[in-house]
Structure 1
């Protein structure tokens, strides 16, 4: 009789932590800015468990069956995924039928386990997109795992005896890990992290760290009884590592260049050490992560991962704010857990239990014949679609109503009188404006209202690209009659050091710096705007134009993505920029009627 691997309850608790971090990150909750590292934790856990299973298998069974291994992985991953793909596809075809080609191609990539490469080819950004984001983008990580599961067992075939087989596999795993970690750094490109983030070659090191941990510290070895002092030391170390990871979750973000030059490798190593300390039965951490609530969430973590992202993407109007956003978020979390429970109970568990102890050929036949579960899946799909469509429609109506009220209020309100700053205006003959897609849309209006301006804007541009742009195209033109306006932050945050370097570059030849803050309902909005406000408060010669506060109660002037101005909004932005510049600088501008606005310096 075959010995089954001991079930590790505390690993479910770690899975629960990982999925909570990922959900919090995608819900755009500010304290989960670095929650994406939950995926790295999943990679380590998966690599550890799968390699443990393979090592136990080749020890107990004379011949390791790759076909059986692959079929078990397919049976574990695909049924719940197929249900998800059906629901998401039908929903998208009902709500936005013009996107049928995009969603079908994403479906095919998901089924084939190549979503990560597909999104690299399509140039789908990992960071949140604004207009029609891909609801299946999260399948990139499952694709990396699927490719890992395809390749890993090949290392254990064709070499005898078993010890030699294990040693050869260990050496190869170490070599691939080193290659992967180096590849991430080589592929990293400031302002475009997609290739480094999505690639199997650049991300597989997390799974390999889990695999090597299974070699060095298999579960049976970790189960040995510990002296009391050693157990206490393990708890102290484990708690410190946990606090370190959670600190990154609160203060980190995916735009830090250090992440791609060893940072994610360190996070994976820390996760592996924490995992070893948590699964040891003699630690208090083991008892903490074995609590019933965490175990319940952890056992459903796969279904939660599948469902959470499409629910957020498809059901969240970008213009939603205030109480409506809180209410919608609360409902989305409930829906995630309801669907995860239904998927776990009626899809995952039946496929897993009904085929234990029989050959993979018999399992395949039983899988095809399971008409009862197919009927249940069909019912679940129908219920899910109705609920999602109803909820999305309701919240869209609420948002539209609140936007209309705000629009009418602003239309009918009297113009406010702005007190002019008590400063002597500076003569100016040229204005260079550098920005992203928000500024790009308003370029014609800006250049018409301010003839001395030159707008250099690009979709997806980030602050890290700015030094090269200035050095190549503008620095040699700077003088005391030059204004440099920077409008960046829509696509990600930046550091105070980068802002200080910009200030030094602009002002060393006497040019004048103007900063336009951002309105982007994503995790980094507050970070960007607070940094700009703090910087201008300590640099009295820098002007801040407050686009955020100005547009916050005029959402009707934004597109459906809640970020980019409409045609009327672009004119509004151009007029705001002109008015604020003419407060501080003396140059000839178009005399069209201006919309009086309020800003901060």
Structure 2
């Protein structure tokens, strides 16, 4: 019905009235391949994640162009639009959720409870706000990566699909003529796009992210990351929906100058894929908005007849682009269940080929048997096709098994990995002081150094205290050295040294073993500690002389990005006062290579810093790790402690 109560012509209101733009399928292919290569991790495509922002512009352009073509004359049916969107997008997601749930029940039960929350958010297209409200960071390192995390972008798009039609309806009701309606919507879309870009800039600058904080709030937020969708809407309205139906004018062919501009824009997108990473500060200040504007230029050229449209409309690119939605849905779960050295004994090109093959098979299955039947025939007829193919009993059986296992998991305690050391399970906020057992006392030895007679070092019970506050005025040394009084250290011995550990749970897992090689180990460590919290606190304490120990062990970068400036400040505050052992972490996450470069470069500038390169030491040694590929196994604890001790003796 239009706003005056007249019935709409179904031919005008129904889906599929837009002109097909083959060049946009090619651009979709470029975007999804960038995202896939970024996540597959074999080739260096650090900015491939920006393919999501290319998708945003495409979606905003196509949806707004369709709605303007159908509704500008007053024939408004938002219900029909939303039903078409659900029919187009939800079947593939439903299939994905069923398969990933079965996979989690089978291979990821230790994280199933967290997954169930993600599952509910994914099914309601609220994943991005679910992660924000529950402070679920994009920089998450513990265990298997969240299998449904990539659905945050679909949530942003679906929220746009819900709200933007209502904005259009409001403007259509308020304004009378088509020209006034278009100008009003153009202004609204431009202002909202500018507001979103401002929210990203202002919010990330205020939180000093990504270098000194977690950018997840601004990266996931609909308010701060919808500028691409709105820039696409601006382009569609600027053209007044041209090209989206026989009732509107066709787009004129692209001239040579226009084609060159489009080629330059496409080259710029390729450059960002190859050069920009998610830890770039300019990206959060203005980069996302710039990518959206450049993509809009490419879209403007690719939708006009000409060389650019022909090249991007090349048949193989079209095939990939037509399946880009499924490729995006399936590639990330494939990554999560094919971790090298953990889930599969592959790496390099063999792993890349395996991931591509699995993604393509799952995508094509979804495309042929789920997406296309429902899209063409509707829900009922699509289901009938499955029944006629005799797949429904199989689907019903699998669903029953999955539901039963999930229900069982929901009422039983999660399994505990027995290979994880007790130290790695210390509660966040604890400070652990672990003393080395001492040899038998001799005459004249003070009572402080007395201890049980032993023939080999035996760890005493751990003393756990509340973590020291991070404000410098409250930090006090808790070091107690209990080596025999007056005993001279032997050559190559570290038994007389106290080590203060500033780290996360990886180093915390080696605390018990280190206590056998050092006089005392003082752990100022927190499970899940981020560098942007740890380094400023350490810097403040060091500047007022309140860092205990003869040796400082600094291990950070497992849970997120390390800021070069913050690391430099911490090392400068510790300069010349004691030996600092700086660990280069191994963490199979997107920020690994960034942190390797930052930490190795920082160590070179300070004479008292000794680099303990755990990344190199642990290469080709999967036995050093438990199931997440990050925390230490018993073998890894021994190797890690040996590495730290060697670094101290080298000082």
TM score, norm. by length of structure 2: 0.73
Which residues of structure 2 form unaligned runs of 5+? 1-10, 244-248, 400-491
The verdict on how the C-alpha distance between 1:98 and 1:548 changes in structure 2, with shifts beyond 3 A counting, is closer
2:220 equivalent among 190, 198, 214: 198
User: Where do residues 61-210 of structure 1 align in structure 2 (5 Å cutoff)?
Assistant: 61-97=73-109, 99-127=111-139, 129-157=141-169, 158-161=173-176, 162-188=178-204, 189=207, 190-210=212-232
Q: How far apart, CA to CA, are the structure 1 residues paired with 2:529 and 2:288?
A: 24
Partner of 2:423: none
Q: CA deviation at 1:49?
A: 0.5
Compared with structure 1, are the counterparts of its residues 321 and 313 closer, same or farther at alpha carbon in structure 2 (3 Å cutoff)? closer
> How far apart are residue 580 of structure 1 and its match?
1.7
Q: Say yes or no: does 1:23 pair with 2:36.
A: yes
Q: Secondary structure at the match of 2:62?
A: helix
- Label 1:525 to 1:515 Cα distance change in 2 as closer, same or farther (>3 A): same
Which deviates the most, 448-457 or 80-89? Answer: 448-457
Give the number of aligned pairs. Answer: 533
What CA distance in whole angstroms lies between the structure 1 residues aligned with 2:43 and 2:349?
A: 13
Q: 1:223 to 1:501 in 2, by over 3 A?
A: farther
Partner residue, 2:612: 545
In 1, Cα distance between equivalents of 2:637 and 2:311: 53
| 1:77 Cα deviation after fit | 0.5
Match in the other structure for 2:357: 334
Q: 1:305 aligns with which of 324, 328, 337?
A: 328
**CA shift at 1:503, angstroms?**
4.1
Q: Secondary structure at the match of 2:224?
A: helix
- Name the SS for the 1:285 alignment partner: helix
The answer on 1:468 being equivalent to 2:480 is no
The answer (yes or no) to whether the contact 1:449–1:575 under 8 Å persists in 2 is no
The structure that is helix-richer by fraction is 1
* Residue 347 (1) aligns with residue 370 (2): yes
**In structure 2, what is the equivalent of residue 223 of structure 1?**
251
Quote the Cα distance in structure 2 between the aligned partners of 1:142 and 1:303. 12
What displacement does 1:583 show? 2.5
User: 1:253 offset after TM fit, Å?
Assistant: 2.0
The answer for the alignment partner of 2:66 in structure 1 is 53
Equivalent-residue separation in structure 2 for 1:374 and 1:199 (angstroms) = 42
Mapped to 2, the partners of 1:103 and 1:533 lie a distance apart of 36
Secondary structure at 2:581 match in 1 = strand
Q: Name stretches of at least 5 consecutive residues in structure 1 with no aligned partner.
A: 356-363, 385-423, 585-601
CA distance in 2 between counterparts of 1:98 and 1:465 reads 27
1:342–1:477 Cα change, 3 Å: same
Q: Quote how far apart the aligned CAs of 1:268 are.
A: 1.8
Contact 1:83 1:381 in 2 (8 A): no
Distance change in 2, residues 1:533/1:543 (3 Å) = same
Shift of 1:539: 5.4
| Aligned partner of residue 32 in structure 1, secondary structure | coil
Look up the SS of the partner of 1:201 in the other structure: coil
Residue by residue over 1:497-555, the C-alpha shift from the partner in whole angstroms, topping out at 9 and shown as x without a partner, is: 55544444432x65554321111233443443345445545655532112122222432
Is 1:293 matched up with 2:322? no
Q: How does 1:402-417 map to 2 (within 5 A)?
A: none
Does the 8 Å CA contact 1:15/1:42 hold for their aligned counterparts?
yes
Listed one character per residue, the Cα deviations across residues 182-237 of structure 1 (whole Å, up to 9, x for unaligned) are 33345444432222222222222221111112112455488213444x24xx42x3
SS in 2 for 1:434: strand
Shift of 1:335: 1.8
| 1:11 paired residue number | 24
8 Å contact kept, 1:438–1:564? yes
Instruction: Judge conservation of contact 2:40–2:355 (CA < 8 Å) in 1.
Output: no
Which has the greater radius of gyration?
A: 2
Q: How far apart are 1:151 and its partner, in Å?
A: 0.5
**TM-align CA RMSD:** 3.6
Q: SS where residue 63 of structure 1 aligns?
A: coil
**Aligned equivalents of 1:131 and 1:280: distance in 2?**
47
Q: Where does residue 398 of structure 1 map in the other structure?
A: none
Task: Between 122-131 and 551-560, report the one with greater CA deviation.
Answer: 122-131
Q: In structure 2, how many angstroms separate the alpha carbons of the residues matched to 1:378 and 1:313?
A: 29
Q: 1:490, CA displacement in angstroms?
A: 2.1
Question: What TM-score results when the alignment is normalised by the length of structure 1?
Answer: 0.79
The match for 2:287 among 252, 257, 263 is 263
Matched, 1:520 2:532: no
Conserved? CA contact 2:326–2:366, under 8 Å: yes
**Equivalent position SS for 2:44:** helix
* CA shift in 2, pair 1:511/1:96, >3 Å: closer
Partner of 1:438: 506
For 1:254 and 1:380, the matched residues in 2 are separated by 39
Partner Cα distance (2:117, 2:493) in 1: 57
Find the counterpart in structure 2 of residue 573 from structure 1: 640
> How far does residue 136 in structure 1 lie from its aligned partner after superposition?
1.4
